[in-house]
């Protein structure tokens, strides 16, 4: 091929991942899916937090006819039985949508979809971008294929406007990316990973297992004490919103 054709092929190779990732973002964001108890429980908590209370006594009746059965009754008050991290993440977007006049009562399909664009779809895009970066480090030129396979051939795609699992996965993988092999595992990196995993646990409690695995990885390298202290401090900071929420809601 001529030099001009070679340059054109090089440009196409550089640009196609951007086009593909944009297509993934559109495909993840476009569906306005039907909500169930899970999504409505999170949304009831979002509304409760906006009203300055951790209980959903009132807001569980403000989320459409379907409502939610994903609740827990404690001392005469109803609470969402979901980890509160997704609701905390969606709260700023809810306040903005409510302030600009979007209808937030009645059928919650549209408003939940809008909240998830901010709290889940963005996380899905960040996840596949990080997977691409790490994939290219392992096998140069093949990271985009691996990332798009994750994005379109797994539950990441249908969950991107439904469940907190995608946000939790993005936080967990981001922590791994910060501490990935081949990079200096400085105390600052360990602290950042701890924060990510701490808040990941606020989003989905099982992320604690990922946090434990990476804590053991931190201990596997020289200079482990400083990094372990930094990682633990970061984790405690990241998980602090859950402790404060529990204190607020249950007094403990």
Query: What does the pLDDT read at residue 65?
Result: 83
Digit-coded pLDDT (tens) for 108-160: 999 999 999 999 999 999 999 999 999 999 999 899 999 999 999 999 999 99
Query: What does the pLDDT read at residue 129?
Result: 95
- Percent of the chain having pLDDT more than 70? 94
Are 206 and 172 in contact by the 8 Å Cβ rule? The answer is no
Query: What does the pLDDT read at residue 186?
Result: 87
Are 203 and 164 in contact by the 8 Å Cβ rule? The answer is yes
Query: What does the pLDDT read at residue 185?
Result: 72
Q: What's the predicted TM-score (pTM) here? A: 0.91
Residue 9 has pLDDT above 70, yes or no: no
Residue 16 has pLDDT above 90, yes or no: no
Residue with structure tokens 């399909």? 109
Query: What does the pLDDT read at residue 114?
Result: 95
When the pLDDT of each residue in the chain is averaged and rounded to a whole number, the result is 92
Work out whether the CA dihedral 59, 111, 155, 25 comes out positive or negative. Answer: negative
């Amino acid at each position: 091929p001529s030099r001009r054709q070679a340059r054109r092929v090089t440009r196409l190779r550089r640009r196609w991942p951007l086009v593909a990732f944009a297509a993934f973002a559109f495909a993840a964001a476009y569906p306005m899916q039907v909500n169930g108890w899970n999504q409505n429980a999170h949304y009831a908590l979002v509304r409760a937090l906006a009203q300055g209370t951790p209980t959903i006594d009132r807001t569980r009746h403000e989320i459409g006819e379907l409502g939610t059965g994903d609740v827990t009754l404690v001392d005469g008050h109803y609470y969402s039985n979901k980890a509160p991290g997704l609701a905390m993440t969606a709260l700023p977007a809810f306040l903005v949508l409510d302030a600009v006049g979007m209808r937030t009562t009645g059928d919650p399909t549209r408003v939940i979809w809008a909240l998830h664009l901010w709290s889940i779809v963005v996380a899905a895009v960040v996840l596949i971008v990080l997977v691409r970066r790490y994939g290219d480090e392992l096998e140069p030129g093949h990271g985009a294929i691996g990332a798009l396979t994750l994005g379109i051939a797994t539950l990441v795609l249908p969950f991107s406007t439904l469940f907190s699992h995608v946000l939790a996965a993005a936080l967990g993988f981001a922590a791994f990316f910060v501490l990935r092999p081949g990079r200096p595992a400085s105390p600052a990196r360990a602290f950042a990973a701890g924060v990510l995993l701490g808040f990941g646990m606020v989003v989905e409690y099982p992320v604690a297992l990922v946090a434990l695995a990476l804590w053991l990885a931190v201990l596997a390298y020289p200079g482990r004490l400083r990094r372990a202290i930094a990682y633990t401090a970061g984790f405690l900071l990241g998980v602090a919103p859950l402790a404060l929420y529990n204190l607020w809601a249950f007094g403990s």
